Chains A and B, each alone.
Chain A
Amino acid sequence: MATVESRALKSVPAGINDDIGEETRLKLYRSQVLLREAEQRAFDLFLQNLVKGTSHLSLGQEAVAAGFATAMQPGDLSFCTYRGHAHTLARGVPVEKVLGELMQRDNGLMRGKGGSMHLTSSEHGVMGSYAIIGAHLPIACGAAWRAQYKGAKDVSVCFFGDGTTNIGAFHEALNFAAVWKLPVIFVCENNLYMEYTPISSVTAVAQPAADRAAAYGLERILIDGNDADIVYRTAQAAFAKARAGGGPSLIECLTYRHSGHSRADPAKYRPDGELEKWKERDPVKIYRERLKQFGVDDQAIVAIESDVRKIVDDATEACKAAPMPSLDILTTDVYADGGFAWRN
């Protein structure tokens, strides 16, 4: 079975990403801090019984969402899973809208009709969060097919977990995208676990996504998903390839979730010391150091952190004050006429 050591890649060789530039680095940091704070707040609100239903946090996986979203252009499309808060926020969706949906309030992204697993904000390019494992890989192919057909330059990005690489839709989508040369990027966040079972115990290859790439004629791409610079650089290359008509990419990002699978999971199945090891490679911590290494002064870092905290605090208050959804939306938007009539 893979150990933490073998999974966690060495950090960036010096020099490789030096030219990312301060402006982008600050964006990457700000994004990661926002995701961290918002997810932590979601957990607190759950403990206060204010988040209903379920929720799946991306604590520890922030660098993937931040790195990809920062590399995206407006108009690029994100397809997420139930573990989609971070990807949704990273596209610029207001914290209040996301927390509001988690709290199933009227101010939520979908006014409580979707819930935490289905975050959608089409105006930000978040084309849905999908809770049936693998379903959105083919859907992302379709959006990319439309771009190809229309000669549009947008790229569709599909995020999913390691466990998703063992479902049929993954393989159908990879082959389909490769054969049609679609501008789609498949991003596997390998956090070592499905819900509770280690991915290595149920998968024929060591790297569930990267080791399958060859079967679809794709390059094997395996990266440190806890280093936002590496994620950002890798994403940029994949976007450039997709926009140039070079077809799909499959990128496996090694990462780790600090929390359990979903709200109620204490994650007892993890070996002793594993979480602590990974926390040493906490993406937010790594990136804070990175900023300092590149000469960003403490004040600028702290300013980002306090600004983000205020945004999350304000959003929390707004959500607590927000009303529950009005009952008349129960039957709206089943069909395109706005209602649910199935007969005359």
Chain B
Amino acid sequence: MAELTYRDAVARGIAQEMERDDDVVFLGEDVAGAGGVFKATVGLLEKFGPIRVRDTPISEQAIMGAAMGAAMTGLRPIAEIMFSDFFAVCFDYIANEFPKSRYMSNGQLKCPLVVRTGNGAGSRFGAQHSQSVENWCMMIPGLKVVAPSNPRDVIGLMAAAVRDPDPVIFFEHKSLYATKGEVPDGEIVDTLGTAAVARPGNDATILALALMVPRALAAAEKLKVEHGIDCEVVDVRSLVPLDTQTILGSVARTHRLFTVEENPRLCGWGAEIVSIVADEAFYDLDGPPVRITTPHIPLPAADILEDIALPSVDRIVDRVKRSMNS
């Protein structure tokens, strides 16, 4: 066991896979010499050399396309898109190319790659460098989508993503890079499509992803101590595949459902999950499911504005309490 930052876990996760398999290569803007704009890939160039760890021009389409061409012919590329907001300039690969080549070719082509990206708010970067865009990817058949909330999961899910035969979009949360967590020694390999119960509880289920997980946990603690409401917090971790069994199992026990989503409200991942629960577990519910989200706005830069836009610990506490008491 060692304490590691989420940032260092990224580099350790990539290194673990590059050590295991020579076919794993890594490319992106400023990732090699500079170690990444978030310093999440420091040391990889020194460890694996410039043939396997490569700086690219500012060409997001070239990065994505090159990763795809390499993947379909036998490599296991990891591509970095610096900010997830930049998916918009290379969305063709995310929407049309990676996820459809296998289907269109009737199984002849494969696309085993990982795109990792800095996602989410909290850095006061404004509307074009702060978005949570998991839902841009979640809606596309053929992709897999994960978003770890802690250093251990970064390493384990990175390994699972690199070893997975399908294209995986790997969302790292920018505001989690500096956070720390206990990480076991040795190889860590997790499983895609598994949620984790981050805190067991009996009165309500709170689903959260990435940065919203620590906030949901803090809220659950407050709800317990200050209001006697015992919440179960489920870290969704993987949006595709989605671990509906863990979610439905939790709701069956607690009879209440809350989602905490960083994305703007429309078509957030919680909407899909609420619809599944309504469909399949309606009679387990003791009250309406509640989605706690960022409003339907572009994100502002000013800290006091950004802070009230995202679901906060207090907002979660407030909303859960209001619902449970009504």
Q: Is the CB of A118 within 8 A of B107?
A: no
Residues of B within 8 A of A111 (CB): 106
Q: Is the CB of B96 within 8 A of A138?
A: no
Residues of B within 8 A of A140 (CB): 65, 69
The 8 closest A-B pairs by CB, nearest first: A138-B65, A142-B69, A336-B165, A172-B59, A142-B66, A143-B69, A110-B106, A172-B62
The listed residue with most B CB atoms (<10 A of its CB), out of A130, A147, A336, is A336
A169-B241 contact given A143-B73, A334-B102, A336-B166, CB 8 Å threshold: no
A77 adjacent to chain B (CB < 8 Å) = yes
Residue of A nearest to B242 (CB): A343
| Shortest Cβ distance from residue A262 to the other chain B in the assembled complex, whole angstroms | 18
Question: Which of B93, B142, B144 is within 8 Å of A135, CB to CB?
Answer: B93
Q: Which chain A residues in 322-344 approach chain B with CB under 8 Å?
A: 329, 332-336, 338, 340-344
CA distance A134 to B61 in the complex (A): 10
Q: Is the CB of B109 within 8 A of A128?
A: yes
Q: Is the CB of B108 within 8 A of A176?
A: no
Q: Which chain A residues in 119-176 approach chain B with CB under 8 Å?
A: 120-122, 127-128, 130, 132, 134-147, 149-150, 156, 168-169, 172-173, 175-176
Residues of B within 8 A of A344 (CB): 193, 241-245
CA distance A156 to B73 in the complex (A): 11
A113 adjacent to chain B (CB < 8 Å) = yes
Residues of B within 8 A of A135 (CB): 61, 65, 92-93, 96-97
- Interface residue count for B (Cβ, 8 Å)? 52
A341-B74 contact given A127-B109, A128-B109, A336-B166, CB 8 Å threshold: no
Interface size class of chain A, counting residues whose CB lies under 8 Å from the partner chain: 35 or more
Question: Which of A139, A332, A343 is within 8 Å of B97, CB to CB?
Answer: A139
B67 adjacent to chain A (CB < 8 Å) = yes
Q: Mark B58-96, 1 if CB is under 8 A from A, else 0.
A: 011111111111111111010000000000000011001
Residues of B within 8 A of A156 (CB): 69
Q: Which chain B residues in 34-79 approach chain A with CB under 8 Å?
A: 51, 54, 56-57, 59-75, 77
Residue of B nearest to A129 (CB): B104
Question: Which of B77, B96, B193 is within 8 Å of A132, CB to CB?
Answer: B96
Question: Which of B68, B103, B108, B164 is within 8 Å of A142, CB to CB?
Answer: B68
Q: List 13 A-B contacts (CB under 8 A).
A: A136-B65, A137-B65, A141-B65, A141-B66, A142-B69, A146-B70, A156-B69, A172-B57, A173-B65, A175-B62, A332-B106, A336-B110, A343-B242
The listed residue with most A CB atoms (<10 A of its CB), out of B67, B72, B73, is B73
A179 adjacent to chain B (CB < 8 Å) = yes
B105 adjacent to chain A (CB < 8 Å) = yes
Q: Is the CB of B104 within 8 A of A142?
A: no
A114 adjacent to chain B (CB < 8 Å) = yes
Question: Which of A136, A143, A175, A334 is within 8 Å of B103, CB to CB?
Answer: A334
Taking A120-B105, A127-B73 as given, write out 8 further A-B residue pairs in contact, using a Cβ cutoff of 8 Å, ordered by the A residue number: A109-B106, A122-B108, A149-B70, A150-B74, A176-B62, A180-B54, A333-B106, A342-B241
CA distance A111 to B69 in the complex (A): 23
Q: Is the CB of A169 within 8 A of B97?
A: no
CA distance A139 to B75 in the complex (A): 13
Total of A-B residue pairs, C-beta within 8 Å: 164
CA distance A180 to B57 in the complex (A): 10
A138-B103 contact given A342-B242, A344-B241, CB 8 Å threshold: no
Q: Is the CB of B106 within 8 A of A114?
A: yes
Q: Is the CB of B104 within 8 A of A139?
A: no
Residues of A within 8 A of B175 (CB): none
| Shortest Cβ distance from residue B111 to the other chain A in the assembled complex, whole angstroms | 9
Q: Is the CB of B61 within 8 A of A169?
A: yes
Q: Mark B174-202, 1 if CB is under 8 A from A, else 0.
A: 00000000000000000001000000000
Residues of A within 8 A of B54 (CB): 180
Q: Is the CB of A113 within 8 A of B103?
A: yes
Question: Which of B51, B67, B97, B240 is within 8 Å of A342, CB to CB?
Answer: B240
| Shortest Cβ distance from residue A52 to the other chain B in the assembled complex, whole angstroms | 16
A122-B109 contact given A141-B62, A146-B74, A342-B141, CB 8 Å threshold: yes
CA distance A140 to B70 in the complex (A): 9
Q: Is the CB of A142 within 8 A of B107?
A: no
CA distance A111 to B65 in the complex (A): 26
